Structure formats: structure tokens, C-alpha cells
Amino acid sequence: MSKSIANKRVAIVATDGVEESEFTKPMEALKEAGAKVDVLSLKSGKIKAWNHKDWGGEYQ
């Protein structure tokens, strides 16, 4: 039985140092499935992701 997540609100909890691929890939998949994604963090503003051996991108 498959249920759609279209138009559902989903939260991703992350903070500085989150592995970039483990953050962005699920977020993209959720958005492609039609979910509204909110990122929750310990601080306001942007968080900085870690990409293998160095800092990656910043995300709101």
C-alpha cells in the first residue's frame, strides 16, 4: 500500500556539520514527491554542511 506525501509538511532536523549528501538528497526526494519541507536547526539563519573532507554549502 503506497500513500502519497504530496501536500504534506515534513521537517528535517539538522545543524552545522551535517553531511551534505545526507541532507540534500532526502530533501530533494521529499520535494519531488510534493512535500513541503521545513529545515529545523538549533540556530536561526543558515547551516553549513560538511562535504567529505571539507565544508560544503550553506542552507537556509
Domain ranges in the chain are: 9-59
Q: How confident is the model at residue 3 (pLDDT cuts 50, 70, 90)?
A: confident
Look over the chain and give the mean of its residue pLDDT values, rounded to a whole number. Answer: 94
38: nearest Cα among 30, 5, 51: 30
Distance, CA of 57 to CA of 45 (rounded, Å): 13
Cell numbers representing residue 51 in the block = 562535504
* Radius of gyration over every alpha carbon of the chain, rounded to an integer in angstroms: 13
Q: Residue 51 CB: number of other CB atoms within 10 A?
A: 13
- pLDDT tens-digit profile of 17-42? 999 999 999 999 999 999 999 999 99
**pLDDT value, residue 48:** 96
pTM greater than 0.85? no
Distance, CA of 40 to CA of 12 (rounded, Å): 6
